[in-house]
Structure 1
């Protein structure tokens, strides 16, 4: 399927994207423990953190590791390292935004000029990309669900807006294309203040946490060194070893202070993100937001002539998977799942083998990867858009 055929299918429809962690790699690592710890085994951080036999202080140690290895790097306002492979991720996001913006600009007036992006990523790549894109492209509206001037707060009621532009003399009115961003698992730029979710720059939201982690003194390498010494492919044994682990580094006599570790966890919990934990929630504010986003996802997929394009998403979130499967009963919903590899495509086909309104792409997965370039070409990227 080329972009001409694809555009014929989606033009004039209610278009939604579901974007997962695959869109941000290799800028940010996956949640699998690295080979330096597990060798050729596959072991996810979520699987360990969720284990019911894991002690609370060891779970907090893993949250410290998670913060240092995944969260802290996402706060880099310059998108992280400028290595070629990582820099390409920035270009991919910019080309994606510019391509769907151009698509909306040429959309007819029969339907709202709106595209919805649902994502479980709490990195800020979409926000940084839109901020840069809007500097030179004013007649498009980016809606992250926040309202305010100096203090901005998230509210689900801030979506479903139609923005219009008129001339100086009000002789015409035209709808401004809108791109809605639904961050289903929260965001690095969100903190909880007075039972509300506030949006602020990461350097503010992470300031207190960084101060505590600096006092703790443990690094990613320190923690990975400890985990490597006690790793076992049998998860039950690994958990036992982790619970019994002495949190001291013999080469430097650095010991993890339990009081500082507790302080870290208190600061960490102020972030409005859903942890890599199957139990997910630690307070009602985040839980309410999550289910509001789930409802919005469901409503959009149940509309007439709805389209969902899935990219870089594994459907590991059981709630999202359940809502998605329920929405597949909508006979007008068309779903396109883009897979990076043959094995991931086969996995998706097995998960959703009973549904007929899903198209799996690339069609020739043996010879073509469903990477970001494939997605860009599919939605009409010509190489002429902004490329950073």
Structure 2
């Protein structure tokens, strides 16, 4: 495992650029990316897990529902209910800048043997990616929902992530692949709904929240949770995942992407506290052509990553200088430099 400090942006940008131009591009985003608009989950997973371990299922359900309701409340400020300059506006602009940079990198990619696709895996339930993409006219974001079904509702179809989009010239019929970002939300989303036939369809986040009195009724809490098509925040995610084909497919997509030749994974805002994703990533790193680049928020976070991946030579941890942090603005500044004036730099 290697480490490098983000004290010279251009030097780090050129290093990562060499990786990008010859690799299949993947990203893994966690809750740190949506700060400060959405506060980190903190100890909510451990608290829910403690309730489950003590067979306190009703308490665990209340804790999980409250956590999800807070995200849904925050969604009410998107896309046009926020105030310029507030935390939501700041976070949304971070996502917009990131997607714009990735779209440009894919568009400028010169290696015709690699697709102009990038996979963004995220454990976040929020909709910052979707809303940010709606502000970018050239951005094609594939969220996995089949919009050709019609009035029955947009059904989730993970096989759509394997599709590639091409445009042909009007005269000579030359083909050019259109840059596409696949958004793969491995724990579901606040906009996902369970249809009567148990299929996942696209909807709107719930606006109705239970009162304190209603939360004293276990049946009402269970019913409210059943409407949300999300993997609940607890350490037994995989047990729930096995019960639902969609979630299993999404974890398998992540595993398969990491097993491909010359795959590159950038990790941001994700601590690898999720043991299942950590295990999948470690197994995938046995692929000698895989490369994982982790952006550590702090030097303390970098030390944690060094412990978790100490046995893997194909992991690079980018860490801040002493007393500094790597947040979304720093990440965007880095990716904004990749590919810029590349020809001049190569000379």
Over the aligned positions, Cα root-mean-square deviation in angstroms equals 2.3
Aligned residues: 321
1:58 Cα deviation from its structure 2 partner: 2.2
Which residue of 2 is the match for residue 156 of structure 1? Answer: 158
Q: Which runs of 5+ in 2 are unaligned?
A: 1-10, 341-347
2:124, 2:39 → 1: CA distance? 12
How big is the shift at 1:268?
A: 2.0
- Measured in 2, the distance between the counterparts of 1:312 and 1:181 equals 16
TM-score, normalised on structure 2? 0.85
Match of 1:13 in 2: 23
Question: C-alpha displacement at 1:13, in angstroms?
Answer: 1.2
Give the conservation status (yes or no) of the 8 Å contact 2:95–2:132. yes
CA-to-partner distance for each residue in 1:306-335, whole Å, 9 max, x for gaps? 111000001111111111000111111111
Q: Which residue of 2 aligns with 1:144?
A: 143
1:12–1:257 Cα change, 3 Å:
closer
Q: For residues 128 and 286 of structure 1, do their structure 2 counterparts lie closer, same or farther at Cα, with a shift above 3 Å needed?
A: farther
Q: Counterparts in 2 of 1:63-142, with a 5 A limit?
A: 63-78=64-79, 81-82=82-83, 83-108=85-110, 109-133=112-136, 136-137=137-138, 140-142=139-141
Q: Of the candidates 348, 363, 367, which is equivalent to residue 305 of structure 2?
A: 348
Distance 1:17 1:281, change over 3 A: closer
Cα shift readout 1:253-274 (whole Å, capped 9, x = no counterpart): xx56633x52132122221111
Give the distance between the partners of 2:177 and 2:194, measured in 1 at CA: 34
| Aligned pairs (5 A) from 1:43-62 | 44-51=43-50, 52-53=53-54, 55-62=56-63
| Pairing partner for 1:279 from 220, 236, 245 | 236
1:132 CA drift (Å): 1.8
Q: Is the 8 A contact 2:268 2:296 kept in 1?
A: yes
Q: Which runs of 5+ in 1 are unaligned?
A: 33-43, 219-254
Partner of 1:315: 272
Normalized against structure 1, the TM-score is what?
0.77
Tell me: CA distance 1:141–1:85, structure 2 relative to 1, closer, same or farther (3 Å): closer
* Residue matched to 1:258: 216
Q: Shift of residue 185 of structure 1?
A: 0.4
**Contact 2:241/2:248 (<8 A) preserved:** no
Task: List per-residue Cα deviations over 1:211-267 (Å, max 9, x = no partner).
Answer: x61xx2x3xxxxxxxxxxxxxxxxxxxxxxxxxxxxxxxxxxxx56633x5213212
**Structure-2 change in CA distance of 1:305 and 1:316 (3 Å):** same
SS in 2 for 1:310: strand
CA-CA distance at 1:160 after TM superposition: 1.2
TM-superposed deviation, 1:281: 6.6
> What's the CA shift for 1:75?
4.5
2:237 alignment partner, SS class: coil
2:245 to 278, 288, 293: 288
Q: Name the structure 1 match of 2:200.
A: 197
Aligned 8 A contact 1:184 1:290 in 2? yes
Q: Is residue 304 of structure 1 aligned with residue 305 of structure 2?
A: no
| Partner Cα separation in structure 1 for residue 256 and residue 90 of structure 2 | 34
Could you tell me how far apart the structure 2 residues matched to 1:361 and 1:45 are?
28
CA deviations 1:9-47 (Å, max 9, x no partner) are 211310100111000011111122xxxxxxxxxxx1211
